[in-house]
Homo-oligomer: A and B are copies of this chain.
């Protein structure tokens, strides 16, 4: 097996690589907002061009019915395993933009951190894969494994067209292992392989009262206030102790094993430091579970947003016409997203007062997943992480969701290795998102080393 000097390769090119990443980050590819439709396409085109320059073949921007996917491959390692690298080039919305220290789409490096929307989630990590593959092709003209890229533009809106795309191109996307870099490590300097993700199920509810806002003096008292109806409905979804009060919500939850709870308890985790970092008076969650258990392995029902009536400065004495709320549940194995949404909708409809109109719009749904810890691709990942970071990798779970992970397992039958280089405080989905450059530097090295380690570890398995 040819090896390359990854330290020298990346050290020599660091400035240019960071400048390129900043170009990528300047494109406001917010998939949730239709006003940014063309920006999303620009980001896809930028990535495709960069893949071409890296030496990838069959680079294409492909239509999906929504935002496009970018695909590419390099398939000249007969007998070696085939890897599907998945990432996403779309980003979350940025509001409230006023809370950003520097504008979200004007990347800036401060204190060893690269600040920009998408820096960590997931343009930065996706770009690292491009660089790791390019390193091999530049240094040796070839790769130790066969590589396929699949980078989508709809991860932040639930990957709504990717399932169909993967199903349609099953053979073209066939791989021995899928590698995804979109998860955080537990703490700086502690590399991690993530083996579990939560799923997600979301909906928006709306209460419509009077046809237009009413003067609260002239009409107040004669109609049900839509905010009053909405808060009554939403308040019925949790018990005061924090448990979800929707009947059936916990029915299918796979309990944590005693071994897993012990392993979680051994990981370094400082509750007080975590509380301080989040800036809350107290931590709060489901009784009977630790904080790591609550965020990694227990389901939640969260309100992502609520809206109704007058929200400006000062007052406006109205009975508002409507009120709405966005709800999403994080799911754990073996909860089914549709069954959870059914239970939630039933609970709400049974309680909706007749004096208002109540409507539900269902959003994305994707189950949780856990990946096998003993797969050679996982063991190879742990090995290169230890080699690069100088300490053993943590085996962790994550509370977030990557909707396409269950799709890969179902459609391609391939295990998914979650090899992420984010840190938990990097403000994904929040103002002032950043990426820690130490992990950019160590991450590209680990990924470049991984292709050789993977070829070795899976030798004899991939034919």
Contact = CB atoms under 8 A, between A and B. Distances in A.
Interface of A: 32-34, 92-93, 95, 99, 157-158, 184, 198, 200, 202, 204, 209-225, 227-228, 230-232, 234-236, 238, 240, 242, 274, 278-286, 291, 294-295, 298, 300, 302-320, 323, 325-326, 328, 330, 353-357, 363-364, 398-401, 424, 427-432
Instruction: Please give the count of copies of this chain that the complex contains.
Output: 2
Given A212-B430, A363-B315, A399-B221, A304 B295 contact: no
Contacts of A281: 354-357
What 8 A-B pairs come out closest when comparing CB atoms? A211-B279, A217-B400, A305-B309, A32-B314, A235-B235, A227-B303, A284-B355, A221-B294
B356 A312 contact: no
A32 B315 contact: yes
A331 to B, nearest CB: 10
Contact of A320 (B230, B284, B305): B305
A223 B278 contact: yes
Contacts of A313: 32-34
A326 B240 CA distance: 23
A317 B200 contact: yes
Nearest to A429: B215
Contacts of A198: 217
Given A281-B356, A281-B357, A325-B227, A221 B330 contact: yes
B315 A311 contact: no
A283 B363 contact: no
A227 B217 contact: no
A316 B32 contact: yes
Nearest to A399: B217
A364 B219 contact: no
A210 B429 contact: no
Nearest to A308: B306
B284 A224 contact: yes
Contact of A278 (B211, B217, B326): B211
Contact of A235 (B202, B204, B231): B231
Contacts of A230: 231, 306
A213 B184 CA distance: 17
Contacts of A210: 278-280
Chain A binding site: helix, strand, loop or mixed by DSSP? loop
Given A157-B315, A305-B318, 20 more contacts: A33-B312, A33-B314, A95-B312, A99-B212, A214-B278, A215-B400, A216-B304, A218-B295, A218-B424, A219-B278, A221-B295, A223-B280, A224-B280, A227-B305, A228-B234, A281-B356, A304-B318, A305-B311, A315-B363, A315-B364
A218 B308 CA distance: 28
Given A306-B227, A330-B221, A216 B311 contact: no
Nearest to A432: B212
Given A279-B210, A314-B157, A240 B232 contact: yes
Which of A184, A294, A312, A431 has the most B CB atoms < 10 Å from its CB? A312
Given A222-B291, A279-B210, A295-B218, A93 B310 contact: yes
Contacts of A220: 295, 300, 302, 330, 399
A224 B211 contact: no
B235 A356 contact: no
A222 B274 CA distance: 10
A181 to B, nearest CB: 15
A320 B34 CA distance: 23
A137 to B, nearest CB: 34
A212 to B, nearest CB: 5
